[in-house]
Each structure stands twice: as C-alpha cells, then as structure tokens.
Structure 1
C-alpha cells in the first residue's frame, strides 16, 4: 500500500472498537475509485460554471449588443472618441511630431505597415477612396463599429452608414501622413487582427 492508503487504514482502524480491529480490511481499489469520482464531479461543476458565465455569439447578437442606433447618434458625440484615437495611434505607431511615412526601401517600412493594419479603427476618420460599388465612393466618417466584414461610419450629416470592407479601399489621415488601406485585408475581427501575423498590405498615398 502507498502512504495515503496506510493513512486511511489507520484512520478507519481507530474508529473500530479494539477487539474487532483485526477484522478491518482496506481495499485500495475502492479508495482510488472513490477519489477519482469525486475529482471528476468537481471538474464537471467548474466547467458548467465557466460556460454559464460566457455569452455565445448567438446570444450576443440576440441581445442586440452588436448593433447601434441609426438615427440617434450625432457626429459631435463621436469627436471625443476620435480625439482619444489620435493619441492611441501615435503611441501604437510610435509617431513623433513631424514624423514621415517610411519609404518602401526603408527597413522600418515592413514593420510599420504591419502595425498600421493591426490598428484598432474605432474612432478613426476614414474615407472610401475606391469601391466596386460607386455609390460608396467618397463616403466618410468616424468609425464607431468595426466587425469582421463591415465598418460603420458616422458621417457629418449624423447618418450611420455600413461599409463592406472587402468591396472598398479606405483612406486614412494621421497627422501629416495619409494612408491607403485595402479593406479586403481587414476582414477579421479587431481583437484577432491585433495579434494575427499579417503580411505587408499597406502603401502610402503617392
């Protein structure tokens, strides 16, 4: 018997009246089986508790947590978000006053372009510079929602427009720098895009 089994035997034996202690017989297999069942139940309860505390994507959508009001939002209300984004993007891209876009032959260009595509676009000012759908071209606004397939831009006319990423090429200005971002390479959720290994997609305006 292992030390644990010996401890159980001594404990149980002490509970028996002295003249019957010789008849005590401990079966190690039974002890192992009881311990295993108990541990399994504990893990099962933990899994159920963890699962019950997380919303599935279907539940998330059913509660309307991935939608925005189309008429109640004002452009001015999104400006504070844009101001926060300007500070964030300078920190993310490590931009200093007067900084310029690295040239294509610059060793920093590849890493800079990767970081640009990984940006969280919530709060950025974007403009559709090219699209397969001509009616989308020249639409602009502050990005208030970034999903896997679309961007929602709030325009100066206070209208919220849904722009499909894969159909468009976007222009974005950061300080004195302007960028072209191909929407087809943004077709991934922002949280996943920020950690995904991305190839070189971005080119500055010429």
Structure 2
C-alpha cells in the first residue's frame, strides 16, 4: 500500500511544472482516496437515511390524537379559544365595525361567501339550524374539533357532541351579523379547505 502511495505521489509531482514542484504539498489522505480505499473518517460521513419527524395518520390515531376527552372539558375553558377566533374571523373576512353581510345581488357576495366557507372553525360558536336528524337541531356550542366529515361542539352543559357536516345547516354569528352555512360546503379538512379553489357557486347564506 505504501509503495502504491509513493508511486502516486511521484506521478502527481511529475505533472507539475518543474520549477514549482518544490512547493507541491500532497495530502496522503487524498492519495489513499484516489487509490480506492476509504479511511474510517470517510466512512463515518456516509449519509444516514432521513426519517421523517412528522407522524403518519396511523401513528396519529394510535396515540389517540383524533379524539377528545368527552367529560373532562369545561365550556368556560373553551371561551379563550372563542375570543381568539373572533379576532381571526374579522381579519379573514376583512370586517369592520358597522359592516353588513353582502346580499346576493352585491358584486362582493360570491367572493365573500367563498371566504366564509374557507374559515377554520376551531373556536367558532355554531348552532345546528336544520338537520336530517331532528335530534341534532338546535344543538349549539364552541367547535373544539373540525375534521373532514364532522364538527365536535362543546356545549354549555360541558358535553361534547359530534355533528355530521353534510347532514346539517349551521348558524354562525359574528358581531351583529348572522350567517347560515350549508354543511356540505365544509366537507374537507380545515387545512385543505383554507387553500382550496372553490369554483362552484356557493348557495346563499343570510
């Protein structure tokens, strides 16, 4: 091995202009690498496969992160979340004091209605106005979980109820404005809903 390294040193030195050969400084590690043998330090630099730091959906569900404690949450504990949501919705819809809901004939109506259904509803106070299941009608509470197909509302009686979106029509109040949202427009995860392009006409709301 040493003999091969010396031969390589001599070969490389011969490639340099004669009067500059005295200043050539050859790193033995480089010679070793050219000779095809990797030293331990080089082997330790091998990239290790990167493992994703995010949880898969299966791991997420296994840890119970898709569920909420049904009897441990108090309505009062969700009020700070609701107060944060009120600031968020005013910013999202660009609302100011005294603003009124655009009417169907108003040029702003279509864009406003699309922004409305894009809202993240975590923290919103919602009421079921109509439902195919009569027992769900008039149920209300603060939304503590918004998934693809259901909303989980924490009522003033401290109970969490699961409400299917597509079966219901929801009432939502922002300041002095009352909105009606058809649950079928909400059937998508909040993160995806907020960036989704809505091409179809959104049914009228009040």
- Displacement of 1:16: 3.6
1:203 match = 204
The two structures, once aligned, show a CA RMSD in angstroms of 2.3
Q: TM-score, normalization: structure 2?
A: 0.77
- Displacement of 1:107: 1.1
Q: Does the 8 Å CA contact 1:101/1:204 hold for their aligned counterparts? A: no
Q: TM-score, normalization: structure 1?
A: 0.77
Bigger radius of gyration: 2
1:79 match = 79
Q: 1:16 to 1:114 in 2, by over 3 A?
A: same
Q: How does 1:85-96 map to 2 (within 5 A)?
A: 85-96=85-96
Q: Does the 8 Å CA contact 1:143/1:153 hold for their aligned counterparts? A: yes
- For 1:179 and 1:13, locate their aligned partners in 2 and report how far apart those are by CA, in whole Å: 85
More helix by share: 1
**Which residues of structure 2 form unaligned runs of 5+?**
16-33, 35-42
Post-superposition CA distance 1:155-206 (Å, at most 9, x none): 000000010111111111111111111111111100000000113325233x
- Displacement of 1:50: 4.1
Secondary structure at the counterpart of residue 77 of structure 2? helix
Secondary structure at the counterpart of residue 178 of structure 1? strand
**Which residues of structure 1 form unaligned runs of 5+?**
1-11, 23-30, 32-37
- For 1:106 and 1:13, locate their aligned partners in 2 and report how far apart those are by CA, in whole Å: 86
Q: 1:14 to 1:82 in 2, by over 3 A?
A: farther
- For 1:92 and 1:153, locate their aligned partners in 2 and report how far apart those are by CA, in whole Å: 22
Tell me which stretches of 4 or more aligned residues in structure 1 moved more than 4 Å.
none
The structure 2 residue matched to 1:15, chosen from 8, 15, 23, is: 8
